[in-house]
Amino acid sequence: MPPFPDHGFGRAQPPRGADVYEPMRLSVIQVIAALAAAICVVIAFIAAGVGLISSVFMLLAVAALGFIAWTAIRRAMGQTKP
């Protein structure tokens, strides 16, 4: 036994006929999972944007209702007859 065993890493070239891309080849299920993950990320960003926009419109609606209530109360209190 040599003092430093090779373990096959010392060869400069793979054996002839070896499929060097086999360890990196994706299976169909991995490709489908990656596409599903990409779609989920896009939907999450869309939902976050929709949530932000709907929150802004909700705050505008609450502000408008508050303004209507404030002016109605001010008008009702100003028109009290003794």
Instruction: Tell me, yes or no, whether 35 lies in a domain.
Output: yes
Based on the structure, what is the number of domains in the chain? Answer: 1
Q: Indicate whether 13 belongs to any domain.
A: no
Distance (Å, whole) CA 56 – CA 49:
11
Q: How confident is the model at residue 5 (pLDDT cuts 50, 70, 90)?
A: low
Residue reference for tokens 């596409």 = 35
Tell me: the pLDDT tens digits for 25-56?
778 888 899 999 999 999 999 989 888 889 99
Confirm whether 31 is domain-assigned.
Answer: yes
Residue 8 resides in a domain: no
| Within a domain: 17 | no
CA–CA dist 38, 32 (Å, integer): 10
Give the domain range for residue 36.
Answer: 27-78
Cα first-last separation, the chain: 114
User: Is residue 68 a part of any domain in this protein?
Assistant: yes
* Alpha helix stretches (DSSP H) within 11-27: none
